[in-house]
């Protein structure tokens, strides 16, 4: 459980840090604009980019980390116990012991599926965040370039 929590924390931290690293765009005046004019143009283009992309890098959407569902109530333990009992009966072994082992295996398998689903959900949220940032940057760069700046 701690490893899964650590992965979620590291994924969230990577998303935040990458958005700071990628969010840096630099505009250089290509037509002799004054520093005051550049400041005004950058503010207006940032506002336009937020409207066009629906993404605000100053206020990025926060996706709650996916929570793994509890194993209880999924039926995995019951199915595992039934399979274990069947194998125990066929093999002539202790059916109760085999059923208990099957229940454990069923629960472990369900937790693994839950972990994979949570990781997939976190990955999708990260990709959505990156797509929003990319759309914002493209819109901002297009606006600034249209006003006579070189954007890098």
Average pLDDT, the chain: 75
User: Distance between CA 82 and CA 2 in Å, rounded?
Assistant: 30
Of all residues in the chain, the percent with pLDDT exceeding 90 is: 36
Q: Which domain holds residue 26?
A: 2-55+72-151
Residue-wise pLDDT for 109-131, tens only, equals 677 777 788 788 888 888 888 99
Number of domains observed in the structure of the chain: 1
64 falls within a domain: no
124 falls within a domain: yes
> Token match 């996916």: residue?
66
How many CB atoms are located within 10 Å of the residue 95 CB?
16
62 falls within a domain: no
Do 129 and 18 touch, CB atoms closer than 8 A? no
65 falls within a domain: no
pTM of the full predicted structure? 0.56
């Amino acid at each position: 459980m701690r490893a899964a929590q650590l992965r979620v924390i590291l994924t969230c931290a990577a998303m935040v840090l990458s958005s700071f690293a990628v969010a840096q765009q630099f505009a250089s005046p290509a037509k002799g604009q004054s520093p005051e004019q550049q400041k005004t143009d950058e503010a207006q283009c940032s506002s336009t980019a937020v409207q066009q992309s629906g993404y605000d890098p100053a206020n990025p959407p926060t996706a709650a980390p996916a929570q793994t569902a509890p194993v209880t109530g999924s039926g995995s333990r019951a199915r595992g116990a039934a399979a274990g009992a069947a194998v125990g009966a066929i093999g002539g072994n202790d059916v109760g012991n085999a059923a208990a082992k099957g229940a454990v295996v069923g629960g472990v398998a369900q937790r693994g599926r839950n972990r994979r689903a949570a990781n997939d959900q976190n990955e999708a949220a990260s990709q959505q965040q990156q797509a929003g940032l990319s759309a914002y940057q493209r819109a901002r760069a297009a606006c600034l370039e249209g006003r006579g700046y070189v954007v890098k």
